[in-house]
Amino acid sequence: MIVCLCKTGRAVYADAMTSSSLPNLLTRITQTPGQCGGCSCIRDIRIRVTDILEMLAENVSVAEILQDFLDLELADIQACLLFAAKRTDFSRLTA
């Protein structure tokens, strides 16, 4: 995962090796100092990735999330899931 800091201080997460079926999804995830406590958000619209992931974990359907958050798109939810997957995917060294 690559973190690019923009001139505004905003962090944009991008994957160096995106597959063709997931083009640029991680660019939808941003992190701006002073916004939402510095937490990762979706497209700077102050909806935290954590909030979407928690709703999905509580069995809220994607359709219901999209109805409740009119600014969200399906790709935003996919980006949240991909972001979480990338954050938990780390190499383990064994002896």
Integer CA distances (angstroms), 7 to 4, 11, 32, 51, 90, in order: 10, 9, 11, 27, 29
Mean pLDDT of the 79-95 span: 84
Strand-pairing partners, residue 41, are 30, 48
Confidence bin at 9 (pLDDT 50/70/90)? low
Tokens read off for 24: 């640029």
Q: Of 55, 63, 34, whose CA–CA distance to 46 is shortest?
A: 34
The model's pTM: 0.71
Confidence bin at 16 (pLDDT 50/70/90)? very low
- According to DSSP, residue 4 is labeled E
